[in-house]
């Protein structure tokens, strides 16, 4: 159950995150739940020694199921496959307890309060309010059926159902609170991760993030046998603009430059700021001549349109170096250096031009 107004893509990421946290955290609590199931057997013996002879097998079976689940949790390669198990663990534990109370004389009379904790356990395992509500309603229905077949007195029936309803309410409240905590923490985590990978001025990838993403694209290109090219871009005489007009004007030009470059790129191309007035563009599935064409379009657009929004006299051009991935052993650093070498040639040749590293 998504919160009102929540972004659908964010909800999917949050759901995967919660399942991944469950996979990391659930094995020990699941094993402890199985151990607790066995320990509570002494309570069975205290209230009904004869019935406890049968409930021992129920407890052993339930604990065995939980032990298997505790082992199986980390065997799932996809967290999506883990979701049914997250539902199954508290449900199986509750069914085992419910069957135990059914088999004991006066089991519901003495054990309804303790059984209501089974509903709360659902919230601790399933976390999100939708699965918690579904599992709790299934448990409540099963409890009603078992109480009917047990033929308990009206007082025990009312008492048992009261405890169960309280358990459902508490469980849903706990689930709502836990989901809220997860949501806030995950949103903060995503924001911090984005800030650590984003250039604060221009909003594009910073140097570290660009190198990481470029490495992945390069490995993918090598694996699939596809070309990949890089553009090294440097704004001409940018220091003069900063010295003459001030840093606010310079910052404005950098932001406007990024705004002009983005439309020339495809959704899967990478644009990052290496530092100062130097930028890099990674063009997957692009041969050298195509990359040269992209570079020339960017250069022309910048020459025609790049100026400060704060001072139209502050204008700038760009020099661009182009390189293509040429050998299997070349790294991202090698590819960036090749583009930088071509950029140096463009600067040496008079600036506001495109140079290609053949």
Tokens of residue 282, six digits: 């990674």
**Contacts (Cβ under 8 Å, ≥6 apart) of 292:** 322, 354, 356
Sheet with strand 228-235: strands edge to edge: 270-275, 278-284, 228-235, 318-324, 354-356
- CA within 13 Å, CB half, 184: 5
Would you tell me the crossing angle of helices 79-103 and 107-126 to the nearest 10 degrees? 170
Tokens of residue 78, six digits: 């996809």
Catalytic pick among 21, 195, 277, 296:
277
In the chain the first and final C-alpha atoms are separated, in Å, by: 56
**Contacts (Cβ under 8 Å, ≥6 apart) of 267:** none
* Nearest in space to 320 (alpha carbons), one of 208, 235, 212: 235
Tokens of residue 25, six digits: 């955290």
Please give the Cα distance from 169 to 103 (Å, whole number): 27
In the residue annotation, 193 being an active-site residue is answered as no
Q: How far is CA 305 from CA 161, 249, 256, 308, 320, in A?
A: 73, 15, 9, 10, 17
Active site positions, annotated = 277
């Amino acid at each position: 159950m998504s919160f009102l107004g929540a972004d659908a893509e964010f909800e999917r990421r949050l759901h995967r995150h919660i399942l991944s946290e469950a996979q990391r955290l659930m094995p020990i609590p699941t094993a402890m739940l199985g151990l607790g199931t066995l320990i509570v057997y002494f309570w069975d013996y205290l209230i009904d020694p004869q019935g406890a002879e049968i409930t021992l097998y129920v407890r052993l079976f339930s604990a065995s199921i939980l032990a298997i689940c505790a082992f199986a949790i980390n065997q799932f390669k996809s967290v999506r496959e883990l979701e049914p198990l997250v539902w199954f663990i508290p449900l199986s534990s509750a069914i085992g307890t419910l069957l135990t109370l059914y088999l004991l004389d006066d089991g519901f009379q003495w054990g309804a309060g303790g059984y209501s904790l089974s509903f709360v356990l659902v919230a601790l395992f399933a976390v999100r309010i939708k699965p918690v509500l579904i599992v709790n309603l299934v448990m409540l229905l099963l409890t009603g059926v078992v109480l009917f077949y047990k033929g308990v007195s009206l007082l025990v029936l009312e008492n048992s159902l009261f405890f169960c309803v309280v358990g459902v309410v508490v469980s849903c409240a706990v689930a709502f609170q836990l989901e809220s905590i997860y949501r806030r923490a995950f949103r903060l985590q995503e924001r911090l991760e984005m800030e650590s990978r984003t250039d604060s001025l221009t909003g594009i990838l910073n140097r570290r993030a660009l190198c990481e993403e470029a490495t992945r694209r390069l490995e993918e290109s090598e694996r699939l046998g596809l070309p990949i090219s890089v553009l090294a871009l440097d704004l001409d005489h940018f220091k003069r603009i900063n010295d003459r007009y001030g840093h606010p004007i310079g910052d404005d030009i950098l932001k406007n430059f990024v705004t002009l470059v983005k439309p020339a790129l495809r959704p899967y191309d990478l644009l990052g700021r290496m530092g100062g007035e130097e930028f890099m563009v990674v063009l997957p599935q692009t041969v050298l001549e195509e990359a040269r064409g992209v570079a020339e379009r960017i250069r022309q657009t910048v020459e025609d349109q790049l100026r400060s929004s704060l001072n139209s006299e502050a204008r700038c051009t760009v020099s661009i170096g182009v390189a293509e991935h040429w050998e299997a052993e070349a790294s991202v650093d090698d590819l960036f250096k090749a583009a930088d070498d071509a950029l140096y040639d463009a600067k040496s040749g008079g600036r506001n031009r495109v140079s290609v590293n053949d």
